[in-house]
């Protein structure tokens, strides 16, 4: 673990990692954490100045929360985020609910990116169709957030050309050549 800590380098200008081993008693750990917060909140003398410092602590437990160093750091960061949000001089333990909340934030950010991409397609005059809806977990309410023109259900017939039925994905210049070679009357090609 020491080697992985050295590889990771500094956490940030105002962050550090503290590894406590052989702690099997939760109450003892909480006393240590509170003592650490109390010590950090004391006035520090820096030259002629007195400085007041506050601390926030994110805690994750090995092996209960994770067994890999990077996962432990990620968990501690999530707990630290909660501690900072709760005010000064606080500590927070990692929980699976924190991990779920972080995953939800990532999903929201990525769904916003998908929405932006769909809007760019719409602005370019391209209609978007979702094929084989129902193979994953989604709901109609979730899909309403996206700017989708058509949803093709698996059992429904399709009056439009389906991508892989005709060709694999290709650059736009190749698509123009491909469309020029498609016989009239096929889906997507005017008669």
The answer to whether position 181 is within a domain reads: no
pLDDT confidence of 137, banded at 50, 70, 90? very low
Tokens of 92: 């927070």
Share of residues in the chain with pLDDT > 70 (%): 70
CATH at 36: 3.30.70.270
Answer whether residue 58 is part of any domain.
yes
Q: Is position 174 within any domain?
A: no
* Residue 135, pLDDT above cutoff 50: no
Same domain assignment for residues 105 and 41:
no
Any idea which of 13-27, 39-53, 149-163, 173-187 has the lowest mean pLDDT?
149-163
- Segment 11-19 shows an average pLDDT of 74
**81 and 10 co-located in one domain:** yes
> What is the tens place of the pLDDT at every residue in 92-115?
999 988 888 878 777 777 777 777
Paired tokens of 48: 């002629």
Q: Could you tell me if 42 and 61 lie in one domain?
A: yes
Domain count, the chain: 2
Do 31 and 12 fall within a single domain? yes
pLDDT attached to residue 190: 53
Quick one: pLDDT at residue 184?
A: 65
pLDDT value of residue 91: 92
Alpha-carbon distance 57 to 94, whole Å? 11
pLDDT at 186 (0 to 100) = 57
What's residue 142's pLDDT? 60
pLDDT at 153: 58
**Candidate ranges 5-9, 65-69, 116-120, 148-152; pick with highest mean pLDDT:** 65-69
pLDDT of residue 179: 79
Per DSSP, the residues of 18-74 read ----S---HHHHHHHHHHHHHHHTSEEEETTEEEE---EEEE--TTTT-SSHHHHHH
Q: Are residues 80 and 102 in the same domain?
A: no
Domain coverage including residue 104: 97-157
Q: Give the residue-averaged pLDDT of 73-90.
A: 88
**And the tokens for 72?**
């432990």
Q: Distance between CA atoms of 12 and 78, rounded to whole angstroms?
A: 15
The rounded mean pLDDT for the chain is: 77
């Amino acid at each position: 673990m020491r080697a992985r800590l050295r590889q990771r380098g500094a956490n940030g200008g105002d962050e550090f990692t503290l590894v406590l081993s052989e702690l099997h008693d939760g109450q003892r750990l909480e006393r240590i954490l509170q003592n650490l917060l109390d010590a950090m909140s004391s006035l520090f003398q820096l030259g002629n100045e007195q400085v007041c410092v506050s601390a926030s602590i994110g805690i994750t437990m090995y092996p209960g929360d994770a067994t890999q160093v990077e996962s432990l750091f990620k968990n501690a960061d999530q707990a630290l985020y909660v501690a900072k949000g709760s005010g000064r001089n606080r500590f927070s333990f990692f929980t699976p609910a924190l991990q779920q909340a972080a995953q939800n934030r990532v999903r929201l950010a990525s769904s916003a990116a998908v929405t932006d991409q769909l809007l760019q397609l719409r602005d370019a005059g391209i209609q978007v169709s979702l094929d084989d809806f129902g193979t994953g977990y989604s709901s109609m309410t979730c899909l309403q957030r996206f700017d989708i023109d058509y949803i093709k259900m698996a059992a429904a017939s399709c009056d439009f050309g389906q991508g892989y039925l005709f060709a694999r994905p290709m650059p736009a210049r190749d698509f123009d050549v491909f469309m020029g070679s498609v016989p009239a009357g096929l889906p997507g090609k005017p008669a």
